[in-house]
Every structure is written in C-alpha cells, then in structure tokens.
DNA sequence: TGACAATTCAAACAACTGTTTTATACAGTT
DNA sequence: AACTGTATAAAACAGTTGTTTGAATTGTCA
C-alpha cells in the first residue's frame, strides 16, 4: 500500500465529472484517464472494468441523495405537513442546484433516463425513501392514505417540477431554455425564488386535488 | 425510380421505432437495417449517413408535435383561458400517451436529454410554439404579461408534469415506477384520470402563483 | 432486346471501443 | 541483497462502429 490512492482518486474524480456531464455510455475510458492524468489500464486495475468505476461513482451519489432526504425530514420534524413540504422543496432544490452537488444529481438523472444494471440500487436506496417521505407528507396534507392514487400523482407532480430545474439540456436550464428566453443562474436568491414558486404552486395544487377527490366521493383517510 | 421507395421506407420505419426506443447513439446502423431487412449500405445510400436518417425521422416527429399544439389551440378557441388550459392538457396528454404517437414523443424526449445538432429545429419549430401558446393562456389566467417570470415558471410546472408521464424509464412509467408501486396502463380512461389530476393541480397552482405575486406587490398586467 | 441508370449486396475499411498483456519501477520484508 | 506484492506504463488485442467500395442486380426506356 504505497501512493496507490493517488491515481485511484484522480480517476474517480474525473469519472464523476465526466459521467455526470455526458452519461455512462458516451464517456470513454481513455477520456477519463486523460483527464485524470493516468494510464488507460488504471480503470481496469483499480475498478475491474468501466462499469465497476461507474458503480463506485454512483455509490457516493446515493449517499448524497439519502442525506438530502434525511436533512429535509429533520428540518420539518414536529411541524405541520404543509410546512414539511415547504422545507422539503426548499432543501431539495438547493441541493439539486447549488454548484458542486449539482453534478451528482445530474448523474442520477442520466441513470434514470438511460438505466444501467445499477438502477435497482438507486431506486431502492435513494429514490424510494424520498418518495415514501413525500407521500407521507402529502397524505397528511390532503387527509388520505399514503398509497392513495391522488397522493402518488401529487408526489409525481411535485417531483417532476423540481427535477425539471436540473441543469440538463431540458427546461428551464441549458440550451433549450436559452433559446426559449428562459434565464436561470443558480444563485441562492434565484434558487429561493424557484423554490417559492414550486412550493406555492404545489401546495395549492395538492389541496385542490384533495378537495376534488373528496367531492367526487372518494374515501377519506381512515381514522 | 422503381421500387426504390420500398427499402427506403422500411429503413425509415425501423429507424423511427429504434431511435424512439433507445436514442440516436445507442442504435446501430446494422440493427436498423437488420430490422428493416435491408443491406447495411442502404442507410448511406438513401440518407447520406446515419445522422441524415435521424434528421428525416425527426422531421416527421416535428410535424406531429406542431399538429398537437394546433389541435389544442383550435379546441380552446373562443373559450376562457382556464378552459383552454384544460383542453391543452387533455389533448396533449392523450397524444403523448396513446400508443402509436407514443414513440414520436419519446424520440423528442431523447433529443431533449441528449441533444444532437438537430436540436435547434425541434426547439424552434415544435417546442417554441407550444410554450408560447401555453404562456399566452396562463398569462390571461393570472393576469400577467406572457413574458412574466411567474408565467414562465408556471408553464414549466405544467409541462414538466405532463412530460413526466412519457413512457420513459422515469416516473411514473416504466421500470422505476414499477419498483415504486406505481402502475399505469395508457388506456383512455387512465389517461383521462391523469389529465384531470394535472389539470386540477395546475389550475389551482397557477391561480395561487398569480395571487402570491400580486400580494407581494408585483406589477399586474398592463391595461 | 440492349443500353443505361438506379438500386442492392457482400466485403472490406479505418477509426474507435473496453480490455489484456507484458514489462518496469517501487515499496516493505526477510 | 534477494524476494514479494503493488502500482504504473506502453503496446497490442479483439470486437464494434459508421462508412466506402466495386460488383451484381433490377427496372425503365430507346
């Protein structure tokens, strides 16, 4: 065990950046090693193969995602459901968009769009806890069971809005957004503004969905 | 000019299906030709190169997208803004999810996520008209200018919800959704249910955003 | 039928991919 | 000093990619 960690860590760092930017498939082992200033064989030596390297990068991303959900949960502890939702959206968006953690979230976005065999781990360890927490919060807001279809759809509505602000080519960031006249710099103030918008939009939307289901005669929450 | 159209059209059809399923990069010329029952060289002969074929496929997709926006516009003609939004979401979602047109929309989704040089055409000819129409509708709903930030953010909220129901691996369709307990079969009834959800959620959200901006002292619509 | 161009085909090409090989340098241990 | 296991390096390997080639085939019109 000598200066081994050196190149291993450089490769890992380069891989995280490149995988986040371009996805797993488009990035070549040679490019990673060129950026890391390492030999082509270093990937296979330290990580068995290209996918082993990818999996290692994903693992650290999963840790960050879980921490985000946990932070949101703690921030809203003991408060009413609506306030918990506010906290969640604010914290989630800040971690999503603040430069630095940004690349990690982009990595997940790639994996969701073009899944690899590592998808299951991400869903089970990172996404499911977040969805379950959100479903619990929304369920208490609109007085339904967490498994109710209206709850799940509302969770999907909230999540899709937040994720659309990821710095992907999608709305409202990036190339498309620029062509459409959108402009968004991820400064703390702007992130706050977006968080406020999604919060206002989603809370009103959630209550409306709750009311609509109730007047149409759906069952209310047990107890 | 003999039975030339035969293989050209078969290649085109195979390409549309495969590009929609896996994106431009992952699909090989050989696979397209194998599905089409044509020779490997046919792509280069009829479409100059792989990208020429892709561009041709995209062009027909753009036509369909424009038609969708146009249909939504006509369906709401002369009606109040809120009703126009209802019509838009319903028509958009049905065309998005009804099997058949489905693959075309998936194609666009790939292009947005992993853009090719053809992105500009899509944005200018297909996305911009849709966004501008939606911005106009929302602006009248909440009494702002179509260029107002609150309007643009609301449009983004509406669009991101709708697009999240695309049959991609993303929520709420596909592999991830299944692992999370979501289930969604694109039957007309289910599409209607989702459209109602997004409509209810978004109309309430839009009005709330409009109110929030107004009480905070933002300028109202001119006139 | 006999040119003639358009189309199809099998084969090969050059570039690139992830991976493996082989050799070398270096650490700590005996 | 000799041995051992680890890390790096250059080179080559086998497979796949989009594309091109040149001959064979087809259909059309004189």
pLDDT, tens only, A11-56: 999 999 999 989 999 999 999 999 999 999 999 999 999 999 999 9
List the structure tokens of B195: 């459209």
Task: Evaluate the CA torsion angle A137, B160, B106, A111 in order and state its sign.
Answer: negative
> Nearest CA to CA, how far is A219 from chain B (Å)?
17
């703690």: which residue's tokens? A74
Least confident of A52-61, A122-131, B103-112, B170-179: B170-179
- Check residue A5 and give its pLDDT: 58
Q: What is the DSSP letter of A44?
A: H
Average pLDDT of the residues of chain B: 88
- Check residue A54 and give its pLDDT: 98
Choose the closest CB to A204 out of B120, B172, B204. Answer: B204
Task: Evaluate the CA torsion angle A153, A157, A159, A164 in order and state its sign.
Answer: positive
Average pLDDT of the residues of chain A: 88
Who wins on pLDDT, B141 or B115?
B141
Task: Evaluate the CA torsion angle A82, A172, A194, B201 in order and state its sign.
Answer: negative
List the structure tokens of B74: 């006509």
Who wins on pLDDT, B189 or A215?
B189
Could you tell me if B139 and B209 are in contact, meaning their C-beta atoms sit under 8 angstroms apart?
no
Who wins on pLDDT, B184 or A162?
A162
A to B CB pairs, distance under 8 Å:
151
Least confident of A6-15, A203-212, B172-181: B172-181
pLDDT, mean of residues B125-130: 94
Confidence of residue B60 (pLDDT cuts 50, 70, 90): very high
| pLDDT surpasses 90 at A57 | yes
List the structure tokens of A147: 């498994």
| pLDDT surpasses 70 at A216 | no
- Check residue A95 and give its pLDDT: 93
The verdict on a CB contact (< 8 Å) between A157 and B197 is: yes
Confidence of residue B83 (pLDDT cuts 50, 70, 90): very high
Q: What is the DSSP letter of B48?
A: S
> Nearest CA to CA, how far is B30 from chain A (Å)?
19
Distance CA B120, CA B126 (A): 10
> Nearest CA to CA, how far is B94 from chain A (Å)?
17
pLDDT, mean of residues A177-190: 78
A87-109 in b/e form (b: 16+ CB < 10 A) is bbbbbbbbbbbeeebbbbbbbbb
Residues of B in contact with A216 (CB under 8 A): none
3-class secondary-structure state, position A107: helix
List the structure tokens of A35: 């950026």
Could you tell me if A47 and A56 are in contact, meaning their C-beta atoms sit under 8 angstroms apart?
yes
Distance CA B209, CA B151 (A): 9
pLDDT, mean of residues A178-201: 87
List all residues of chain A from 19 to 78 with a beta carbon under 8 Å from chain B.
23, 25-26
The HSE-up count of residue B64 (CA atoms within 13 Å, CB side) is: 17
Distance CA A112, CA A62 (A): 13
Could you tell me if B209 and A206 are in contact, meaning their C-beta atoms sit under 8 angstroms apart?
no
Confidence of residue A179 (pLDDT cuts 50, 70, 90): low
The residues near B176 (Cβ < 8 Å, ≥ 6 apart) are: A112, A115, A119, A123, A127, B169, B170
Task: Evaluate the CA torsion angle B146, B152, B154, B159 in order and state its sign.
Answer: positive
Nucleotide closest to B40 measured between CA and C1': C9
Confidence of residue B110 (pLDDT cuts 50, 70, 90): confident
Residue A73 dihedral angles phi and psi, to the nearest 5°:
-65, -45
| pLDDT surpasses 90 at A1 | no
- Check residue A2 and give its pLDDT: 32
pLDDT, mean of residues A184-204: 94
DSSP string, B174-206: HHHHHHHT------HHHHHHHHHHHHHHHHHHH
Confidence of residue A113 (pLDDT cuts 50, 70, 90): confident
Residues of A in contact with B153 (CB under 8 A): 172, 194, 197, 201
Choose the closest CB to B153 out of A180, A197, A208. Answer: A197
Residues 7-36 of B with CB under 7 A from strand D: 27-31
Cis peptide bond upstream of B164, omega within 30: no
Distance CA A102, CA A106 (A): 6
Tell me the percentage of chain A whose pLDDT exceeds 90.
69
- Check residue A171 and give its pLDDT: 40
- Check residue B223 and give its pLDDT: 40
- Check residue B112 and give its pLDDT: 82
Q: Report how far apart the first and last C-alpha atoms of chain A are (Å, whole number).
A: 61
Alpha-helical runs (H) found in A76-101: 81-97
List the structure tokens of B27: 């699909």
pLDDT, mean of residues B133-145: 97
- Check residue B171 and give its pLDDT: 40
pLDDT, mean of residues B165-188: 66
Confidence of residue A109 (pLDDT cuts 50, 70, 90): confident
- Report residue A121 CA to chain centroid gap: 14
The verdict on a CB contact (< 8 Å) between B113 and A115 is: no
């Amino acid at each position: 065990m000598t200066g081994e960690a050196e190149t291993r860590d450089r490769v890992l760092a380069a891989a995280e950046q490149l995988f986040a930017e371009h996805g797993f498939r488009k990035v070549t082992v040679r490019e990673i090693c060129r950026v890391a200033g390492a030999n082509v064989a270093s990937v296979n030596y330290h990580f068995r193969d290209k996918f082993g390297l990818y999996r290692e990068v994903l693992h650290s991303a999963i840790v960050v995602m879980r921490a985000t959900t946990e932070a949101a949960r703690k921030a809203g502890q003991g408060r009413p459901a609506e306030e918990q939702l506010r906290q969640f959206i604010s914290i989630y968006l800040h971690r999503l968009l603040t430069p630095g953690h940004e690349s990690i979230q982009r990595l997940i976005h790639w994996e969701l769009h073009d899944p690899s065999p590592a998808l299951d781990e991400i869903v089970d360890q990172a996404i499911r806890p977040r969805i379950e927490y959100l479903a619990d919060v929304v369920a208490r807001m609109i007085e339904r069971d967490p498994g109710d279809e209206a709850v799940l759809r509302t969770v999907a509505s909230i999540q899709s809005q937040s994720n659309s602000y990821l710095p992907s080519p999608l709305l409202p960031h990036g190339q498309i957004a620029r062509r459409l006249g959108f402009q968004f710099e991820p400064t703390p103030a702007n992130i706050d503004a977006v968080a406020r918008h999604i919060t206002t939009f989603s809370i009103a939307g959630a209550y409306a969905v709750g009311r609509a289901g109730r007047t149409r005669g759906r069952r209310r929450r047990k107890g």
